[in-house]
Amino acid sequence: MPRSSPVAASGTFTLGDRTIHRLGFGAMQLTGKGVWGPPRDRTACHLVLRRALELGIDFIDTADSYGPHVSEELIKEALHPYPDDLVIATKAGLLRTGPDRWVPLGRPDYLRQECEMSLRRLGVERIALFQLHRIDPTVPAAEQFGLLRDLQHEGKIQHVGLSEVTVAEIEAARRIVPIVSVQNRYNLIDRQAEVVLAHCTTHGIGFIPWFPLANGQLSRPGSVLDRLAVETGASASQLALAWLLRRSPVMLPIPGTASVVHLEQNCAAAQLQLTDVQQAALTSAGASSERKQAT
């Protein structure tokens, strides 16, 4: 890790037995439009991934469905052989049938197949964190969790995570296999997963918020976010990330981008220290915006 790493300011979290910096990188946006097909500039994506490691990022989140397969392939092309401290998390459980189209598929034979293919695409003998992308409602959940347990026992995956789940589903899974992380949508203006976040905080489960930079109308001129941007010299996205990092010690934001400039700006957010007053102002403004959208 570089001595001047801005990401180090985000602090650390231990996923099972793997300690990572709390600010990571999401590799979904490295693919084509609609998270489908290859990027327009493959070399630029390689540069983003390499720059991420230079900035101190040691946690990269991807999925077999990003592309599909494209994101995992780019990671291997750019970074293999991997540094010992790099944790690459991937996911399975969503079938792709076209741009912006996602279909849950949790049959144990399919999940096993995708795990084997991710191992090959990433060029690893064991996946550090393997996440069930969605629970397939057409397959008994216990069968899906049981397959994850089997893969762990076989040494194909090290740790298990879930995505877009309720507290009840987390606890049902934990009765079958240890769960170290949960990835639900969560940001300043969308806190439907607040109860899940509280549960993860209580039990020391890593919470990976996807779509972390959303701020809706909060960045409009004269808004709280706009005033704080002027006050701190930070961008709206940086404020949104700083708010997340302060929200809970188990919060692991993974902002994604295909731009080195945006990557550097996101990483710099780890060094932004919000005051209690600023944090409370953003919390209140975000909650108010969420209520307005719900009405």
Annotated catalytic residue 66: yes
Residue type, 294: A
- Pick the catalytic residue from 66, 82, 110, 186: 66
* Dmax (CA) of the chain: 56
Residues identified as active-site: 66
